[in-house]
Amino acid sequence: MHLPFAPPTKAPSMRATVLTLVCLVVPAVARAQDTAIVINPESVSVAPQPGDLPRLVAEEAIRFYNAATTTRLVGRSRLPRGNEWRGDVAVRNGAVSVGGRIQGTLLVINGDASVDSGAVISGDLIVIGGTATQTPGAAVAGEVRVYRAPLGYRTQGEEIAPARVNPRRWLRSVGLEKSWGTADSRSSLTLATGGTFNRVEGLPVVFGPMFDWKLQENVRFRLDALGVFRTAGDLTDRRSDLGYLLRTELRSGEVPAYGAELRAYDAVVPVEDWGLRNAEIGWAAFLFQRDYRDYYLSKGLAGRVFVRPERLLQLAVEVRRDWQTSVAARDPWTLFRHDQPWRPNPPIDAGHYTTASGTVTLDTRNDRTDPTAGWLLSAQLEFSHSKDVSPQSGVPTTVRRPIPTDGSYKFTRAFFDFRRYTRVSPSGRVNLRLLAGGWLGGDPLPLQRRLSTGGADPLAGYGFRHTTCNRDITDAAFTGTLVAACDRVMLVQAEYRGHISLHWAYNSSRPEDEESKSLLALRGPDLVVLGDAGQAWLVGSGPGRLPADRLPTLGSWLADLGMGVDWGGFGLYVAKAVTAGEPLRFTLRLDHRF
């Protein structure tokens, strides 16, 4: 992230002092009340993620797996029709398909369970870190329990034990949750970070109740009523200090699954969120006063329907109506460089926008946090229009055509992210990524939907926002903002990862096949050799533009080469631009590149 290091020269404000005390007190309260720590790594604004697996459930699963009377299996397993397993069975790190009869309880750890027609389980069916599917005609005599959160564990010979705490979690968003109820219906009171530290909000803190009820078999209803306290706000202006998220979700089934969601929100939203991860953005801002995103305020209503016909595939359609407006950078306290000014937050094209979008996601990765095999294909198409858009002045026609203000403003935008993870040797992997997106049709994109490219991600050999298409924007409102102004972007990333064995393991597990790799393995560093190429550009006719049906020539693309060491997500990389006179750049990452 090209982060400088300098000591602070200002004392923290009273607000920063209070926030620090809260951060120190909350973990102590959590230990005293035996509550769950909420980890929220990838929320864009204030949408909380599910909590961890309850401690009692984890202990029960480990006891069951280690019991002398339990048959233990590892990896994908199948019991064909007409066959029988006698006694309790536990399977870890693999999908289980049951076509015959199990005389006992089946426990599936970090995998999915499928019970076919005619299959019989005389005991319970317990699935942790996966889904359970029963076809008509399947019989489970006991209780069916499904926990989406995975079980973190390490192997000790033939047995398993609780996983040691992963240091990467210390750098995630943390909070406190107190829950009541059963596995079927739960109520909880949450206090957690709801995004990432930034120069507009400071550290957003989410608080309020959440309810998850089982209405009937395979039908659940969820209600979240959360407030958001923006710690960098002015306490005398409550409207800027407080946001909210009210969300309801009705969901049927696990696989296949169907559902609908309604939400009302007042959230600070990032302009471009496909580069560095939230944790990396937040720590760069808090430690070194470097914020690698821009933001705007969005208030409105949204409705979403989704279907998950297969475990790996999800389709969703959303319609939202929101008011979008500019927000200014504040002066939240940072650990270093607090005497330096923040980069100004650029203005946007304010107005009420009605947006319809469709998203398709196909995810066959064997591990979402540390994949070594599989595909991730994500595609989004959105159509948006506004009858009262107020275009920001100071954007010349050399950057974009005038935005109509007669109520006819509309545009279409698309975004694609395709990734492939392949193991090429016992210790070697090749990862590939193609990312493309931007304007597809209609009027020009508003400032909050425009694009740029550069470092520290995805082009590690270039400076932050090396290509922004904003050279002709000279208005004082944009001075020092590095506003992203391109219509389209296309990028290719490739890396080879070779494992460096240190002859010990942080969280040992020896899976039998690629599908059953441990979720929390951390065995030593990876040597990473990387290469990136891409470009961002303006669409249209005239100097510096490309027609809508053309791509930049390969000779105009930016490219870099580099290498680094990645230890469980903590990475140090060095990269050099090969198509421009850029200096050698060092980048510290808190997560895998992609």
**DSSP 8-state code for residue 579:** S
What integer pLDDT is reported at residue 254 of this predicted model?
A: 74
Strands (E), 488-577: 488-499, 526-539, 545-546, 558-567, 570-577
pLDDT at 166: 54
Phi, psi of 241 (to 5 degrees): -80, -35
DSSP secondary structure of 175-240: EEEEEEE-SSSEEEEEEEE-S--BTTTBSEEEEEEEEEEEEETTEEEEEEEEEEEETTS-TT-HHH
Q: Which two tokens stand for residue 245?
A: 């998220």
The answer to whether the beta carbons of residues 130 and 152 sit under 8 Å apart is no
pLDDT on residue 129: 86
Q: What is the pLDDT of residue 3?
A: 43
Give the max Cα distance, the chain: 77
Residue 169 confidence (pLDDT): 53
The distance of Cα 118 from the centroid of its chain, to the nearest Å, equals 39
User: Are the C-beta atoms of residues 562 and 573 closer than 8 Å to each other?
Assistant: yes
- Model pTM? 0.77
Report the distance separating Cα 134 and Cα 511, nearest Å.
27
Q: What are the structure tokens assigned to 536, written together?
A: 């961002």
d(C-alpha 254, C-alpha 61), whole Å:
21
The label of the residue with tokens 């002066």 reads: 331
Please list, in sequence order, all residues whose beta carbon lies within 8 angstroms of the beta carbon of residue 404, skipping any fewer than 6 positions away: 443
Report the chain's terminal Cα–Cα distance, integer Å.
15
pLDDT value at residue 168: 54
Q: How far is Cα of residue 250 from the mean position of the Cα atoms in its chain?
A: 22
Distance (Å, whole) CA 347 – CA 446? 11
Burial string for 261-275 (b: 16+ CB within 10 Å, else e) reads: bebebbbbbbbbebb
Tell me the C-alpha distance between 531 and 446, whole Å: 32
State which residues of the chain have pLDDT below 50. Answer: 1-50, 173, 235-238, 504-522
